[in-house]
Structure 1
């Protein structure tokens, strides 16, 4: 049996950065096309550069959400609802329109999203559960959410043993 041709570290790195690498490739192709000469290629290249740049910004904002799967359970975002199917604890569902607060906390050495609804119900979702990277797209639909603050909170929750941060509250 022949082993894999790509080192596991390189495979893990490209898997983590794949979305950003594709965006950079589109950005570079657009730049190359814009420099080919003529107004048509310049306009077509400029469009590709704008698309590549917007994809790169989105990829970099979602990067902190892409983690190795270490927690049990599965996160699903579907039709405006966040669902967590827990393997060892109860899961649940909360609609994005009912969401009033998002906290990031550390319980038993593991980071969790605490999503609270208007009725007071709370849903704990591990940050490293399967499918939790889909939360980045779901959170961007919330009014006045600062993805920079969310990314910073994700970076700090791993450093502090008993970290609790409120990253978003519904305005009004």
Structure 2
């Protein structure tokens, strides 16, 4: 039995990383108000808390409601999705394109890789939060663009990232 309402619990879980960053900043401010070496440690802790809060803010914007079909895992550099009708495994290094398709219900992440079937992952699948770190590891991805596309009311598929094509000289 929980003392926290389910709606409030869901909001706290969504923003937990930001809250943790704010707690770290508060501790850093307390230490920085002292003197000597503790003051410098406090400044470093404040900076670390700010990074944690900023990262948490981006993660919170990426999180969506749970309860969608399938399960996502990211392990050893591979994205795995297993759903009721489809699924697949995509090594992060082999990805050629990441696209968000809002025409589906719910919207889906489309992962394309050479000579393989596309993998369509619902944005509310269990464990989809792990995709944030996997996508962030892609070279040249624009995280803010990805987050704004996720929240926009697009009517057409949006290319979030495509593998840079090497140029011959």
TM-score (structure 2 length as normaliser): 0.91
Mapped to 2, the partners of 1:109 and 1:92 lie a distance apart of 20
Deviation at 1:109, TM superposition (A): 2.5
Deviation at 1:120, TM superposition (A): 5.0
Query: Corresponding residue for 2:161?
Result: 168
User: What are structure 2's unaligned runs of at least 5 residues?
Assistant: none
Deviation at 1:93, TM superposition (A): 0.5
Deviation at 1:137, TM superposition (A): 0.5
Query: SS state of the match for residue 129, structure 1?
Result: coil
Query: Corresponding residue for 2:81?
Result: 84
Query: SS state of the match for residue 113, structure 1?
Result: strand
Query: Corresponding residue for 1:48?
Result: 45
More off after superposition, 101-110 vs 73-82? 101-110
Aligned residues: 165
Mapped to 2, the partners of 1:143 and 1:102 lie a distance apart of 12
Query: SS state of the match for residue 110, structure 1?
Result: coil
* Alignment map for 1:1-172 (pairs within 5 Å): 4-36=2-34, 38-87=35-84, 89-119=85-115, 121-156=117-152, 159-160=153-154, 162-172=155-165
Q: 1:101, 1:166 within 8 Å by CA — same for their partners in 2?
A: yes
Mapped to 2, the partners of 1:55 and 1:108 lie a distance apart of 33
Query: SS state of the match for residue 151, structure 1?
Result: helix
Q: Which protein is richer in strand relative to its size? A: 1
User: What are structure 1's unaligned runs of at least 5 residues?
Assistant: none
Mapped to 1, the partners of 2:66 and 2:48 lie a distance apart of 30
TM-score (structure 1 length as normaliser): 0.90
What stretches of structure 1 move > 3 A for 4+ residues in a row?
none
Q: 1:65, 1:132 within 8 Å by CA — same for their partners in 2?
A: no
Deviation at 1:25, TM superposition (A): 0.5
